[in-house]
Amino acid sequence: MKLDPHPLLDLFAFTTTFPKPLGETTTPAEVFALLALETGAPMKSDDSVRDAVRALLRHGGFKPSGRSKPASEYLVRAVADGSLSSINPAVDVCNIVSLHSGLPISIVDLGKATPPFRVSIAPAGASYVFNASGQTIDLAGLLCLFDAAGPCGNAVKDAQRTKTDAQTTQTFTVIWGTTALPGRAAQAGAWYRELLHQLGADTMAGVLGNK
C-alpha cells in the first residue's frame, strides 16, 4: 500500500481471513461485552486522544465536527445511549477497539475492493455513498483510503461499496493513528488482532509509516 507523505499520520494496517462467511458466525457474548464504556479493556481514550485525532483530520483542510466528527467519537455516544447492537464479528471487534483506543478505524471487504490501495488526502469534489440509504459524504481535504476505483474509507465514514456483509470472508483494516500518540495505533492493532484470533480468524499485519 502506498502512503502519500503526511506529517501526522501513524497508520497501522492488517488483513484478516475469517474461517466462515460473516453471516454464518456471531460475536461471542464475552467479546461483545467489551463494547461498553466501563470494562477491563487494555486501552482507554480521553480528551487528549480525541484532540490529537481531530488535528490529524484537520491537516488537509477537513473540519472533523458535527456530522463529520471521527467515527470513534460517534461510538462513545452510541454506546452510552445503548443504540449500538451487534452487526457482525468483524464490525463488532472494530467498534470495540475503536471505542477504547479512541482511534477511528476503517474496515474494507477485500472481495469488494480492487487493489492497489493507497492513502492520500481527497481532492476537492471527491465524495462517496456511505450507507444503504444513499447518503453521501464530501471528502474534500479528508485523509482517505483509496483502492483502484477511488476512495473507500476514512476516519469518519467508510464507503458503502466496500462494507462487509454476510458473505465477507476477508477484510483489510486501517487504524488511523497519529504521530502525536506514538505507538498507540500499533498497540490498538495488537489488541485488535488478539480479539480476532479468539474468533478463529487469521491476520497478517504491519505498521506502515511514511519512510
Structural domain range at position 68: 2-208
Kindly report the CATH number assigned to the domain that includes residue 129.
Answer: 3.50.40.10
pLDDT tens by residue, 66-120? 999 999 999 999 999 998 999 999 999 999 999 999 999 999 999 999 999 999 9
The per-residue pLDDT string of the chain (211 residues; one tens digit each, 9 = 90 and over) reads: 999 999 999 999 999 999 999 999 999 999 999 999 999 899 999 999 999 999 999 999 999 999 999 999 999 999 999 989 999 999 999 999 999 999 999 999 999 999 999 999 999 999 999 999 999 999 999 999 999 999 999 999 999 999 999 999 999 999 999 999 999 999 999 999 999 999 999 999 864 433 3
H or E segment and range at residue 128: strand 127-129
Total domains in the chain come to 1
> For helices 89-101 and 71-80, what crossing angle results, to 10°?
100
- Omega of the bond prior to 116 within 30 degrees of 0, cis? yes
Q: Which residue has the cell 471527491?
A: 126
Say if pTM beats, i.e. exceeds, 0.85: yes
DSSP-H helix ranges across 59-170: 71-80, 89-101
The neighbouring-strand residues paired with 203 are 16
